[in-house]
Structure 1
Amino acid sequence: MPQVLSTKEQSLFRTVVRNYEDKQYKKGVKAADQILRKNPKHGDTLAMKALIMNSQGKTDEAFALAKVALQCDMKSHVCWHVYGLLYRAVKNFEEAIKAYKFALRLEPDSAQIQRDLALLQIQMRDYQGYIVSRRAMLTGRSGMRQSWTALAVAHHLNGDLAEAERVLTAYEDTLKNTPSKTDFENSEAVMYKNSLIAEQGDIERALEHLESAGKHNLDRLAVLELRATYLTQLGRKEEAAKAYSTLLDRNSEYKKYYDGLIEAMEVHLDDLKARKAVYDGYAEKYPRCDAARRLPLDFLHGDEFRDAADKYIHRMLDKGVPSTFANLKHLYSDSFKKETLPSLVQQYIDSDKSSANEEPKRNGDTSKGASAAFYFLAQHYNYYLSRDLDKAMEYIEKAIELEPESVDFHMTKARIWKHNGNTQKASEIMEQARSLDTRDRHINTKAAKYQLRNDESEAAIKTMGLFTRAETVGGPLADLHDMQCVWFLTEDGESYVRQGKIGLALKRFTSIYNIFDVWQEDQFDFHSFSLRKGQIRAYIEMMRWEDHLREHPFYSRAALSAISVYIRMHDVPLLNGANGVGHSDADDAAERKKAAKKARKEAQKAEREAAAKKAEPNKPTSQGSEDTKKKDDDPDGAKLAATTEPMNDAMKFLTPLLQFSPKNIDAQIAGFEVYIRRRKYLLALKCLLAAAALDKEHSKVHEQTVRFKLALDKDSETLPPKSLEVIKSEFTLLAASVDLTKFNDEYLAKYKDCARRALSALKIRKLLNPESSSKCEKDVAAVISLPTTTVEEATEALDLLTSWKSSEIEGLRSKAAAKWPKATIFAAKA
């Protein structure tokens, strides 16, 4: 039975609740202890004390105390509510929902419990449960627009658009007075309802609603854009053309408006003259407009393209616009345009030369046009579709000679060195560029990125520290974590991989994984905030974005890098301890045992330090523990590097990758590598088939197909008969009786001029026939001589020979150094 409090103690209990809400935790604990001295089994007080302790960072003690509170009073909604709040605090939303539901059964009229339950349901995408909760909340507070809007959103996210619209209409029918034209919440509600009508496919009604209810909407741009879209979809072309003309008068740089106008004017895409006339009209109307002059270059051809491009290039170079090449490089997919553009720039350079002075002379600044032209050609020859790095360097030097203080020119020079394979020189030049404008954050981050590419981790941190908060505990790196600077953590992790510091590399990749978790969790606060502020359309967009959060390239890159590290750790366990320098020839038993022992010691030391810290009494601060930083018990990643199950750890990164990026062939390839090592042949086959569907001729797909056949033949007797039957029926990439050697040789013959595919075929040849090892190694070294081989492919060949401990390593290195003399990776090692 729950203990009954006296009037004085009831007042004290209210004080405890108030202290908790005001974050006066020490006073709250003191007041709770006063009650508990006389009523040691008062469940509500025990629960509130547990909640305060959790806010002070004493999570384990808080859970223990909350369980005691439940034992004292199982029928207290406060105890169950607090229990749910504790689970929510540790992100265990499933258990929190169970506790909230139990609390709600005990106290059905509690608006606070109902609200907390609803927020967790939408966070977990339990739309059916969310609808029930929101309907109950609407019954309790039917006079608030927020309650109606929330129920409409619940139906919308559940896919019932008609019911969502009906809810909004029902609220509108309850209004006695017409909302003010300046009522922002009503303005957003009208546009949200309009989007619901349009999503149902009833464009005619959506247009009618827009022109009536949305006529004076505060979001004028959205109204104009939707009206133009609806008119086009309804075939009312003349009105649509006027609507798009209005939009272009507002913003003449937006390509989508031009496309809409041309469609509304019913100009056929093959009628280039009429399309060009539309753009020319706006170019004349708005003399400073860039889009009207640039966009026709996308569809013009031949002499018409040459004339238009010549005018555009002269205009941009006369102004010295640095982004001219960036505006035009997408045209390089057309070979004619790729050849025409640089020739026009060269004509620009030659046009005003005289025998007395080789530099172009133009009105105003005599060097601006010349330097911009040289800069364009430097970028042209640095671009991967037209690469000639020697010419690129020649032109960028000319540009720098004219404008030695240009940050852009020095940045491009650094990129040219990067493409030459000289990361050290690239880093030095980018640092020079940074020094030209020390107040520019962009060039600062570029300099740090190039330092990381050159494995200058400490220098990169120092460079980034110029723009981080000096007062941050833990220095610049801690501030970059706080700011969720994903690009830096990714580059830093990849740099540590190259340095052989596996622990630190995994630490960075795990940090990125955790940042995506934080982004997933951060939406929690917006479930109530967006409804309170009336930002419904933005909220729906956010929810849809969150549902595909891990599709982001940032996650894919970090996950693939982490999986690659775990695969290496599995193949050569603890090759380099935690953060030592890796040695590819240190795979003998003694060396590996020594490395493993070192890693275990580092992990045990980190665990002892963490346990000692946990054993210390919690020291409360004036504001509880909100402002205190949690000490990292594994700063160097020693625990991560000491894992005994790298493939299980890799699954943490792989599962979201395969779920959200199934069309990413690198993800499917990584999935195969993980599953084949775990002997999950059905899952490995699924990844292999998915990769083959994306690119059957991919080098890794060929390699994995043969390896899968070999693994299947080897383990067929140990597989369950049903699994084996399914695998054989689905594995159609190779015939059952295929000669693998012949199959591989045919692939090699077919792609003998492609370095990457040739390397995969040679790797398989050595696997199938170990006796041919010497011949395979020589053939790998010969890949360098292929005219299409890139620095990256040559590096892969070098890595392959290194993993084989081949005698051809130095021969390949010397050939590569002769072919790419500026690349540092092929330089002879001291």
Structure 2
Amino acid sequence: MPQQLSSKDASLFRQVVRHYENKQYKKGIKTAEQILRKNPNHGDTQAMKALIMSNQGQLEEAFVLAKTALKNDMKSHVCWHVFGLLYRAEKNYEEAIKAYKFALKLEPDSQPIQRDLALLQVQMRDYQGYIQSRSAMLQARPAFRQNWTALAIAHHLAGNLVDAENVLTTYEETLKTPPPRSDMEHSEAVLYKNTIIAESGNAEKALEHLEVVGKRSTDILAVMEMRADYLLRLDRRTEAEAAYIALLDRNPENSSYYDGLIKAKGILERDHKALKKVYDEWVTKYPRGDAPRRIPLDFLEGGDFREAADSYLQRMLRKGVPSLFANVKTLYSNPVKRDTVQELVEGYASGDLHSQANGTAEKQPNGDSSDFQASVFFFLAQHYNYHLSRDLGKAMKYVGKAIELVPESVEYYMTKARIAKHAGNFPRAAEIMEYARSLDEKDRYINSKAAKYQLRNNENEKALGNMSKFTRNETIGGALGDLHEMQCVWYLTEDGEAYLRQRRLGLALKRFHAVYNVFDVWQEDQFDFHSFSLRKGMIRAYIDMVRWEDHLRDHPFYTRMALSAVKAYLLLHDQPDLAHGPLPSINGSSGGSGDSAERKKALKKAKREQQKLEKAEAEKREAKKMSGAAKGTDGETKKEDTDPLGTKLVQTQEPLKDAMKFLTPLLEHSPGNIETQVAGFEVYLRRKKYLLALKCLLAAHAIDSSNPKLHVQLVHFRRALDSISEPLPSKVSETVVNRFETLLPQSLDLLEWNNSFLASHKASVSHVQAFLNAQLLLNPKNRSESEKDLLSTLDLENASIHDAIDGLELLTEWGSDQTITTISPAYEHEADDLS
């Protein structure tokens, strides 16, 4: 039963609520304890005290007190509301919603409870529930504009475009006088309504509405773009042409405006002369513009392309634009254009500037200056370094010539480092990039590139030292702690991958979990914007944000990190001894081969090294505490990392289960990525989830039936089915056998099938490696011959550094002690000094 308070204590309770709202937590706790001394079982006061405790970081104690409050007063909406808030703080949104709904049953008219419930519903994408909550809030406060807009948003996100439009229209009809033009919230709301109309497919209605409301809108550019788009959709070409011309006058570098203008003019894609004439008009109108000069290179062909490319290249090279190659490399998908560009720039390098231009190249002074020559050599270095025109020997020669002319150019040394990287010489690449960094120590970009190359060379400490030059280094964790706070995903991922290559799985998993947590934070950060965007009226941006969040886990950054994390857990499952650190003498085996005495010796040494690292890390943390570095400049105490080396992560007893934390979002959000399906198969096969493993095989086969990894996995699965110790349930077995039969029929001779795979893909290094891997699985006795054949794949014409790395990993997987080191021809005559 609820306990009644005296008038004095009731006044004190209201003070507790005010203290909480004003974030005066110490005063709130003190006042609550004053009430509880007289009324020890008052549920509402206990609940408010628990809520304040949770905001002070005492979440576990707060939950205990909140449960006590509920026992004392099960029918208090305050207790249930607080219980929901505590679950929300714990990110347990499902339980929080349940608590809010129970509180709302007890107090149906409570606006705070209804608001908190609505925010959680949109966070969880429960759009039908969100519509109901927003409808109830609108009925309670119909004069409040945000309630109308929020209900429209709820219908829009749920796909009810007509209902969303009707809600906004109904509100507009209630206005007695139109809001002033300075009312940003109204301006955004009417444009938001226009986007809803457009999304419904009624371009004519959207245009009519825009003509009425657009003149009073503050977002002039958005109105112009929307109007031009609607006119083009309605095939009102004359008006659309004028609209796009107006947009180009505002920004002649926007390529989408040119696309719209050409469609409005009705010019066909194959009518190159007419297209070129349009762009030439804008070159005349804006002589300094780049887009109207560059875009025609995409569609021009033959002599017209050669003439335009000659003019464009000479113009940009004379200006010394460093981004020229990045701007034209998209042309290289066409081999003819690629060769034409190469021939032209090679001609500039030899001093032939005008013979190919037919007099059209711009005749500027100092055409043979050292700056122009350096730009030409720099371009050719990038050209021959690019994967579609790669010749690393020529690339190194040209970058060397460019450096001779401009010895202090950071960009030139960066390109030299990239060439070294593509040649497989990672130590040299890191060394050159570090020298480039030393040429401009105030440039954060080159500092980050140097750190990245050091990570690629497994120099983690050096990389962190470079990154520390641009971090505050004031809290526990130093530079690394700052990089975590700044959510520097690229660094944490590269750092984790470097540790993974070194088989230091604890630190690798530590970094991957950190990136996973960053994505969790991004997912949770949207919560505040559900109310903030309504208050500020930025509705269109809010809708974009919600839709972006829906695809957060298929972001390339997450995919790359998650695949590496799954690989780390697979290694940990296959080689449990790696939990103690890298074991050089046994890394080449799967854990079952090698001399027993040598294995024990290596394992003992690894444990000693791990203990040394843990002791050094503990001493470092203690020194930080003694120096008072646990607080930032704002005085806020920073949370200490109790497992900086990832020891707890790597000591897991269920690595495959832990891998599912990373794999599940991948399979849900990136099912079209074949690497995801490959990783899923490896995990499910080891977990003996044969039906799920087959599902991954079928998905991978649908994406790319000739994928080399899929080829090997088909053999793995056949062998696994043939060696099952306990029979599968009849329905599962029948499904697995029947569906797998479509991929690899039982009647096939696997050796012949493998040989035919090689015959179809003998020019591809990765496919040859897959053939050899499958061959060894089918006939394990021929290991030495397979190793020899694998090493010979390096001699294939199209072998790349990535193929070499994959081959090395395959040798390691086989337990081979054979490795081969080669130096790219680009380095045979390279001088050692960097200057």
**TM class by smaller structure:** over 0.9
Residues 309-358 of structure 1: CA deviation (Å, up to 9, x unaligned): 0000111011111111111001011111111112111222333799xxxx
Residue 419 of structure 1 deviates from its aligned partner by: 1.0
> How many Å separate the matches in 2 of 1:580 and 1:143?
70
> How many Å separate the matches in 2 of 1:581 and 1:714?
31
- Amino acid corresponding to residue 368 of structure 1 in structure 2: D
Residue 633 of structure 1 deviates from its aligned partner by: 2.1
1:798 aligns with 2:808: yes
Q: 1:532 aligns with which of 535, 541, 544?
A: 535
Q: 1:651 aligns with which of 643, 652, 660?
A: 660
- Amino acid corresponding to residue 565 of structure 1 in structure 2: A
Task: Say which SS state the counterpart of residue 390 (structure 2) adopts.
Answer: coil
Please say if residues 240 and 261 of structure 2, whose CA atoms lie closer than 8 Å, have aligned partners that are also in contact.
Answer: yes
1:485 aligns with 2:488: yes
Task: Say which SS state the counterpart of residue 159 (structure 1) adopts.
Answer: coil
Q: How many residues align?
A: 801
Residue 192 of structure 1 deviates from its aligned partner by: 0.5
Residue 728 of structure 1 deviates from its aligned partner by: 2.3
Residue 54 of structure 1 deviates from its aligned partner by: 1.2
Residue 817 of structure 1 deviates from its aligned partner by: 4.8
1:564 aligns with 2:574: no
1:313 aligns with 2:323: no
- Distance of aligned partners of 1:165 and 1:476 in 2 relative to their CA distance in 1, 3 Å threshold: same
Counterpart residue number, 2:746: 736
> How many Å separate the matches in 1 of 2:168 and 2:824?
73
Counterpart residue number, 1:677: 686
Residues 428-480 of structure 1: CA deviation (Å, up to 9, x unaligned): 11112112222211111111101111111111111111111243442111111
> How many Å separate the matches in 2 of 1:523 and 1:626?
27
Counterpart residue number, 2:103: 103
> How many Å separate the matches in 2 of 1:315 and 1:383?
22
1:756 aligns with 2:766: yes
- Amino acid corresponding to residue 676 of structure 1 in structure 2: L
- Distance of aligned partners of 1:266 and 1:592 in 2 relative to their CA distance in 1, 3 Å threshold: farther
Q: 2:730 aligns with which of 710, 714, 721?
A: 721
Please say if residues 497 and 505 of structure 1, whose CA atoms lie closer than 8 Å, have aligned partners that are also in contact.
Answer: yes
- Distance of aligned partners of 1:818 and 1:349 in 2 relative to their CA distance in 1, 3 Å threshold: closer
Counterpart residue number, 1:416: 419
Please say if residues 575 and 583 of structure 1, whose CA atoms lie closer than 8 Å, have aligned partners that are also in contact.
Answer: no
Percentage of identical aligned residues: 59
> How many Å separate the matches in 1 of 2:492 and 2:518?
11
- Distance of aligned partners of 1:720 and 1:276 in 2 relative to their CA distance in 1, 3 Å threshold: same
- Distance of aligned partners of 1:164 and 1:221 in 2 relative to their CA distance in 1, 3 Å threshold: same
Please say if residues 580 and 610 of structure 2, whose CA atoms lie closer than 8 Å, have aligned partners that are also in contact.
Answer: no
Residues 542-562 of structure 1: CA deviation (Å, up to 9, x unaligned): 111111111100000000001
Residues 219-276 of structure 1: CA deviation (Å, up to 9, x unaligned): 1111111111111111111111111111111111111111111111011111100000
1:639 aligns with 2:642: no
> How many Å separate the matches in 2 of 1:198 and 1:801?
58
Task: Say which SS state the counterpart of residue 293 (structure 1) adopts.
Answer: helix
Residues 582-631 of structure 1: CA deviation (Å, up to 9, x unaligned): 8415735674799599599989x99xx9xxx9xxxxxxx999x9933222
Residues 102-157 of structure 1: CA deviation (Å, up to 9, x unaligned): 11111111111111111011111111111111111111211121110000000111
Residue 213 of structure 1 deviates from its aligned partner by: 1.6
Please say if residues 204 and 234 of structure 1, whose CA atoms lie closer than 8 Å, have aligned partners that are also in contact.
Answer: yes
Please say if residues 424 and 824 of structure 2, whose CA atoms lie closer than 8 Å, have aligned partners that are also in contact.
Answer: no
1:467 aligns with 2:470: yes
> How many Å separate the matches in 2 of 1:215 and 1:579?
68
Residues 55-80 of structure 1: CA deviation (Å, up to 9, x unaligned): 12111111110011111111111111
Residues 493-528 of structure 1: CA deviation (Å, up to 9, x unaligned): 001111221100000001111111111100000000
- Judge which range, 665-674 or 728-737, deviates more: 728-737
1:269 aligns with 2:269: yes
Counterpart residue number, 2:17: 17
Counterpart residue number, 2:360: none
Counterpart residue number, 1:616: none
Please say if residues 506 and 647 of structure 2, whose CA atoms lie closer than 8 Å, have aligned partners that are also in contact.
Answer: yes
Please say if residues 744 and 765 of structure 1, whose CA atoms lie closer than 8 Å, have aligned partners that are also in contact.
Answer: yes
Residue 678 of structure 1 deviates from its aligned partner by: 1.0
Please say if residues 119 and 527 of structure 1, whose CA atoms lie closer than 8 Å, have aligned partners that are also in contact.
Answer: yes
1:80 aligns with 2:80: yes
- Distance of aligned partners of 1:72 and 1:751 in 2 relative to their CA distance in 1, 3 Å threshold: same
> How many Å separate the matches in 1 of 2:635 and 2:399?
53
1:456 aligns with 2:466: no
- Amino acid corresponding to residue 637 of structure 1 in structure 2: G
Counterpart residue number, 1:344: 344
Counterpart residue number, 2:712: 703
Counterpart residue number, 2:779: 769
Please say if residues 19 and 28 of structure 1, whose CA atoms lie closer than 8 Å, have aligned partners that are also in contact.
Answer: yes
Counterpart residue number, 2:696: 687
> How many Å separate the matches in 2 of 1:150 and 1:228?
29
- Distance of aligned partners of 1:166 and 1:595 in 2 relative to their CA distance in 1, 3 Å threshold: farther
> How many Å separate the matches in 2 of 1:593 and 1:14?
69
TM-score normalised according to structure 2 size: 0.92
Residue 656 of structure 1 deviates from its aligned partner by: 0.5
Please say if residues 578 and 599 of structure 1, whose CA atoms lie closer than 8 Å, have aligned partners that are also in contact.
Answer: no
Q: 1:381 aligns with which of 362, 372, 384?
A: 384
Residue 568 of structure 1 deviates from its aligned partner by: 1.3
Task: Say which SS state the counterpart of residue 214 (structure 1) adopts.
Answer: helix
- Distance of aligned partners of 1:67 and 1:717 in 2 relative to their CA distance in 1, 3 Å threshold: closer
TM-score normalised according to structure 1 size: 0.92
Counterpart residue number, 1:123: 123
- Amino acid corresponding to residue 101 of structure 1 in structure 2: K
Q: 2:675 aligns with which of 666, 681, 696?
A: 666
Please say if residues 493 and 512 of structure 2, whose CA atoms lie closer than 8 Å, have aligned partners that are also in contact.
Answer: yes
Residue 797 of structure 1 deviates from its aligned partner by: 2.2
Please say if residues 152 and 167 of structure 2, whose CA atoms lie closer than 8 Å, have aligned partners that are also in contact.
Answer: yes
- Amino acid corresponding to residue 14 of structure 1 in structure 2: R
1:787 aligns with 2:797: yes
1:57 aligns with 2:90: no
- Judge which range, 317-326 or 276-285, deviates more: 317-326
- Distance of aligned partners of 1:361 and 1:302 in 2 relative to their CA distance in 1, 3 Å threshold: closer
Residue 715 of structure 1 deviates from its aligned partner by: 2.4
> How many Å separate the matches in 2 of 1:4 and 1:470?
54
- Distance of aligned partners of 1:823 and 1:158 in 2 relative to their CA distance in 1, 3 Å threshold: farther
Residues 649-703 of structure 1: CA deviation (Å, up to 9, x unaligned): 1111111111111111111111111111111111111111111111111111111
- Distance of aligned partners of 1:600 and 1:714 in 2 relative to their CA distance in 1, 3 Å threshold: farther
Residues 144-175 of structure 1: CA deviation (Å, up to 9, x unaligned): 21110000000111111000000000000010
- Judge which range, 555-564 or 583-592, deviates more: 583-592
- Distance of aligned partners of 1:353 and 1:385 in 2 relative to their CA distance in 1, 3 Å threshold: closer
- Distance of aligned partners of 1:362 and 1:776 in 2 relative to their CA distance in 1, 3 Å threshold: same
Superposition pairs of residues 600-611 of structure 1, within 5 angstroms:
none
- Amino acid corresponding to residue 796 of structure 1 in structure 2: D
Could you list the runs of 5+ residues in structure 1 that have no partner in the other structure? 355-359, 614-620, 825-830
Task: Say which SS state the counterpart of residue 801 (structure 1) adopts.
Answer: helix
- Judge which range, 702-711 or 269-278, deviates more: 702-711
1:367 aligns with 2:376: no
Residue 713 of structure 1 deviates from its aligned partner by: 2.5
> How many Å separate the matches in 2 of 1:559 and 1:113?
37
Please say if residues 141 and 147 of structure 2, whose CA atoms lie closer than 8 Å, have aligned partners that are also in contact.
Answer: yes
Superposition pairs of residues 106-505 of structure 1, within 5 angstroms:
106-351=106-351, 362-363=365-366, 366-505=369-508
Counterpart residue number, 1:551: 554
- Distance of aligned partners of 1:70 and 1:629 in 2 relative to their CA distance in 1, 3 Å threshold: same
Task: Say which SS state the counterpart of residue 715 (structure 1) adopts.
Answer: coil
Residue 746 of structure 1 deviates from its aligned partner by: 1.5
Please say if residues 475 and 631 of structure 2, whose CA atoms lie closer than 8 Å, have aligned partners that are also in contact.
Answer: no
Please say if residues 414 and 425 of structure 1, whose CA atoms lie closer than 8 Å, have aligned partners that are also in contact.
Answer: yes
- Amino acid corresponding to residue 338 of structure 2 in structure 1: K
- Distance of aligned partners of 1:594 and 1:24 in 2 relative to their CA distance in 1, 3 Å threshold: farther
- Distance of aligned partners of 1:419 and 1:594 in 2 relative to their CA distance in 1, 3 Å threshold: closer
Please say if residues 578 and 637 of structure 1, whose CA atoms lie closer than 8 Å, have aligned partners that are also in contact.
Answer: no
> How many Å separate the matches in 2 of 1:314 and 1:109?
73
- Distance of aligned partners of 1:777 and 1:351 in 2 relative to their CA distance in 1, 3 Å threshold: closer
